[in-house]
Amino acid sequence: DAYKTWDDSEKSQPYPEHNVFVTNPPYSSDHVDRLIKHLTTSPHEAGKPWCLLMPNYVHKKDYYKDILTKKGKNGIQPFYLVPNKRYVYLPPKNFREKRDSDVHKKSSPFVSMWYIWGGTMKMNDKLIHAYQRSGGNCDLARTTSALRDLRRKGKKR
């Protein structure tokens, strides 16, 4: 239970040591909002990189917009990796009722993408350059505006 770990670490339990926070959080309820707040306010996470696999709509939410760097203000500027092919999620065996059709059986109702913060802008730049050299199979966007441009480009195809 992540919340118990986070809450206990503020009290008596040692916070788990780590170099980077990688997760695909539950998307229901307020889980994503709580995760974003934890990553951006916890002293244990200050200056640490993270990679979050989350729905593509998260970057439009107020709780996410509030963490981004604005002119003259502190904040962060993650970059984004948008898979060229939609990720397929396989539910646990016997999780869903058997249906005649396999349509939507192995899919989620949203498109996922990676939200990545290197901990500093300098590390972000290093990660971006490394990804570009790797020839990865995702579209890269440095800003939420660039995400919008990718969406528009995709509609023209």
Cα 154 to chain center, whole Å? Answer: 21
Whether the pLDDT of residue 157 is over 50: the answer is no
Whether the pLDDT of residue 139 is over 60: the answer is yes
pLDDT of residue 87: 86
pTM of the predicted protein model: 0.81
Rounded CA-CA distance 1/87 in Å is 25
pLDDT of residue 112: 92
Whether the pLDDT of residue 131 is over 90: the answer is yes
Whether the pLDDT of residue 60 is over 90: the answer is yes
Whether the pLDDT of residue 117 is over 90: the answer is yes
Lowest mean pLDDT among 24-38, 98-112, 115-129: 98-112
DSSP classification of residue 76: B
pLDDT of residue 95: 67
What order do you get walking across the sheet with 21-23 strand by strand? Answer: 21-23, 50-55, 112-117, 79-83, 138-141
CB atoms within 10 A of CB 152: 9
Mean pLDDT of 25-50: 86
Whether the pLDDT of residue 24 is over 80: the answer is yes
Rounded CA-CA distance 44/8 in Å is 13
